[in-house]
Amino acid sequence: MSEWKFQRDAINAFRFVRCTFDADTGVAQLVYAFDDGPELIETITVPGAPFVLEGERAGAAQQALRLLHLIAGVSYYKAAVPPEIRIDSYAIDADTAAMLETIYVNGLGEFAYRNGLNLHGRIRFPHEAVNRPAAPALGLREHALVAIGGGKDSLVSIEALRAAGIGQTVTWIGGSQLIRACAERTDLPTLNLGRALAPQLFDFNREGAWNGHIPVTVLNSAIMVFAAVLLGVDQVVFSNERSASYGSFIEGTGEVNHQWSKGWECERLFGDYVQREIAADLHYYSLLRPLSELAVARQFAKTDRYDAHFSSCNRNFHILGERPANRWCGVCPKCHFVFLALAPFMPKPRLVGIFGRNLLDDPGQTAGYDALLEYQDHKPFECVGEGRESRAAMAALGDRPEWREDALVERFAREIRPQLDEAELRIEPLLVIDDEHRIPAGLWERLRARFAA
């Protein structure tokens, strides 16, 4: 074993070795390996131990842990993308294998495109006939674990749940101080789940591993579903908007969606699986699924409670490395998009105050905005709205005296808008609420009017 060296192209198999949970400490270990190489151990820590798990709750916790093991494996599998996948310590059925293949192939879509790999037909999870009855209802108490990511979306959900009178615990994974500050600002109960990647992954990256984006939202979802079973609560709430279901259109390739695991296909697949295989009364849903990015931005603008705390700039969230000095780097696609999406709904001084500068009056940002507008470029691989949302927001600003002379708004009006169909530049149709979602019916009845206003 000590002789083993990471040689990406010589690896034959990726192994799901085992997953364990110590109810006395709240620590789960997710163990993987390549061939007969060293064990790669990812650790998840759930505060609140010791946990008492008996009977059907214990069975549900084991199912949730296995689902997490299988999904979290994507971080390591991607390092070598070997021809074979093995599961050493338990068996999965054909439906589970099919779901995992869908998550891996689509969730690694951007990774595959950027690395010139074709994963279709290459990712095969071994499966056998497994006789398991549908998951029982566990009698979970009515309470929501709400994911918070430090950006505007989860804060919109948290305020909507508060208004609807749903008991919630604001929950995040990892050690981000920015997320902690936002969570504390909610004045609600909080829960910070620990996650440590296997340290060897960083060595493998230096030694030539394949690297690229992984479907982090479904992975965070699996962590929170596991925590919900341990804590005995019946809802796991994310804040993935409708626009996340649409990717970037690449000429000659087709659609590649950076945020596939925030999209509707993934939510439906994962949420149905949780109810069928883990607990019939555990509801996983995205509260913002019926809303476009612009509709979410409009909701966010209604309160200034988080202006001095939130950030959507992903540069804040690296495990290693530098973070922007003032929460908004101002040059990445998320900064560009969030500034543009909020601008139609916020007084200009407030928005410029949040970012510390006016991104739309900076000609240096032209290429970034062109990509968002899908003008001579494709939509960036980031969590940003659809091209038609960016174009509609820019057109709306062009009609407003306080914005229309800013460099990029003026350029849009002069150079890009004349090439577009005016009927497709209206904001109102993009703010319409959709009916495709998994939000429990009673809650949605209480929230629909709020989101429509």
Ligand X SMILES: Nc1ncnc2c1ncn2[C@@H]1O[C@H](COP(=O)(O)OP(=O)(O)OP(=O)(O)O)[C@@H](O)[C@H]1O
Ligand Y SMILES: CC(=O)N[C@H]1[C@@H](OP(=O)(O)OP(=O)(O)OC[C@H]2O[C@@H](n3ccc(=O)[nH]c3=O)[C@H](O)[C@@H]2O)O[C@H](CO)[C@@H](O)[C@@H]1O[C@H](C)C(=O)N[C@@H](C)C(=O)N[C@@H](CCC(=O)O)C(=O)O
Chain positions contacting ligand X, by CB under 6 A: 147-154, 172-174, 179, 217, 220, 238-240, 262, 312, 338, 383
* Residue 214 interface partner, choices ligand Y, ligand X, none, CB cut-off 5-8 Å depending on type: ligand Y
Element (H, E) at 182: helix 177-185
Smallest distance from the beta carbon of 169 to ligand X, in angstroms? 12
Q: Return all residues near 143 (Cβ < 8 A) that are at least 6 apart.
A: 166, 167, 168, 169, 233, 234, 235
Phi, psi (degrees; rounded to nearest 5) at 198: -60, 125
Tokens of 35: 């061939």
* Among ligand Y, ligand X, none, residue 238 binds (CB under 5-8 Å by kind): ligand X
Position among 317, 323, 357, 420 found at the interface with ligand Y (CB under 6 A) = 317
User: How far apart (Å, rounded) are the C-alpha atoms in residues 319 and 364?
Assistant: 28
Nearer to ligand Y, 51 or 273 (CB): 273
The distance of closest approach from Cβ of residue 87 to ligand X in the complex, given in angstroms and rounded to an integer, is: 27
Q: Do 97 and 132 touch, CB atoms closer than 8 A?
A: no
Contact window for ligand Y (CB under 6 A) among 12-20, 124-132, 230-238, 316-324: 316-324
- The entry of ligand X, ligand Y, none near residue 258 (CB within 5 to 8 angstroms by kind) is ligand Y
Largest CA distance in the chain: 69
Interface residue with ligand Y, options 29, 169, 171, 261 (CB under 6 A): 261
Closest CB 148 distance from ligand X, rounded Å: 5
Rounded Cα–Cα distance for residues 211 and 319 (Å): 15
Angle between helix axes 55-72 and 216-231 (nearest 10 degrees) is 170
**Cβ 315 to ligand Y shortest distance, Å:** 7
For residues 136 and 212, which CB has a smaller minimum distance to ligand Y in the complex? Answer: 212
Q: Which residue is nearest to ligand X, using beta carbons? A: 151
Stretch that binds ligand Y, among 29-37, 58-66, 312-320, 362-370 (CB under 6 A): 312-320
Q: Is 211 in the site for ligand Y (CB under 6 A)?
A: yes
When CB distances are held under 5 to 8 angstroms depending on the partner's kind, the choice from ligand X, ligand Y, none that residue 212 binds is: ligand Y
Chosen from ligand X, ligand Y, none, partner binding at 360 (C-beta under 5 to 8 Å by type): none
Residue 267 binds to ligand Y (criterion: CB under 6 A)? no
Q: Binders of ligand Y: how many residues, by CB under 6 A?
A: 22
Residues whose CB is less than 8 angstroms from the CB of residue 83 and which lie 6 or more positions away in sequence, other chains included: 12, 13, 122
Which residues does 47 contact at the CB level (< 8 Å), separation at least 6?
26, 191, 192, 193
Where are the alpha helices (H) located in 262-414, listed in sequence order? 264-277, 293-300, 333-342, 348-355, 366-372, 387-398, 407-411
| C-alpha–C-alpha distance, residues 103 and 78, integer Å | 13
Asked whether position 331 contacts ligand Y by CB under 6 A, the answer is no
- Asked if 216 touches ligand Y (CB under 6 A), the answer is yes
For residues 378 and 59, give the distance between their C-alpha atoms in angstroms, rounded to a whole number: 46
Strand partners, 283: 235
Stretch that binds ligand Y, among 36-44, 53-61, 116-124, 257-265 (CB under 6 A): 257-265
Of 85 and 166, which CB lies nearer to ligand X in the complex structure? Answer: 166
Which of 46/214 has CB closer to ligand Y?
Answer: 214
Q: Give the residues lining the site for ligand Y (CB under 6 A).
A: 75, 197, 201, 205, 211-217, 258-259, 261-262, 314, 317-320, 382-383
